Amino acid sequence: MSSIDTKLNDLGITLPTPAAPVANYVGFVRTGNLVIISGQLCLGTDGKMADAHKGKLGAEITPDVGQQAARLCAINLLAQLKAAVGDLDKVVRCVRLGGFINAVPTFAGLAPVMNGASDLMVEVLGDKGRHARSTIGVAELPLDACVEVEGMFEVQ
């Protein structure tokens, strides 16, 4: 078991089967030492989205639930990353995360919601998990998800 797998196990995290693309794109692209992962939704280990993660921040979704959803997105990013490289110990660093928050126009708490994903990367990867980041409020996401996160990783 790799050290990252051990860390995930210690945190009680089981990586799900990576979600299959639902349109004309791929889950990840590797070019050289970079892996770019398509946006991941807040799907559970069963591959389904809980009703609690459908809707808009600032309306039916609370910031705490949004943060939990962002954490799920990050878990799904790691599942895609493992599919791309086979062993998460090959990760040199998380380079960038991009977060899309399904929110009402007046919701100003985007950054703390996205911390759910950012904090998980640091919990799992340590200093290699520190990354650049963008967080954007959007009018709608696929399946009415409250959060979607994409990522870029440097690997060996």
Looking at the predicted structure, is the pLDDT value of residue 1 above 80?
no
Fold (topology level) of 3-155? 60s Ribosomal Protein L30; Chain: A; (3.30.1330)
Confidence of residue 140 (pLDDT cuts 50, 70, 90): very high
Please report, for residues 22, 30, 47, 77, the alpha-carbon distance to residue 141 in angstroms, rounded to integers and kept in the order given: 13, 25, 17, 17
Domains of the chain, by residue range, sit at 3-155
Rounded to 10 degrees, the C-alpha dihedral 139/113/120/16 comes to -40
Residue pair 78/124 in contact (Cβ under 8 Å)? The answer is yes
Query: Quick check: 155 pLDDT over 90?
Result: yes
Per-residue pLDDT tens over the stretch 105-119 = 999 999 999 999 999
Alpha helices in 52-109 (DSSP H): 63-85
Torsion of CA 121, 89, 152, 54, to 10 degrees: -50
d(CA 143, CA 51): 10
**pLDDT tens per residue across span 64-80:** 999 999 999 999 999 99
Token pair for residue 35? Answer: 């892996």
User: By the 8 A CB rule, do 99 and 71 touch?
Assistant: no
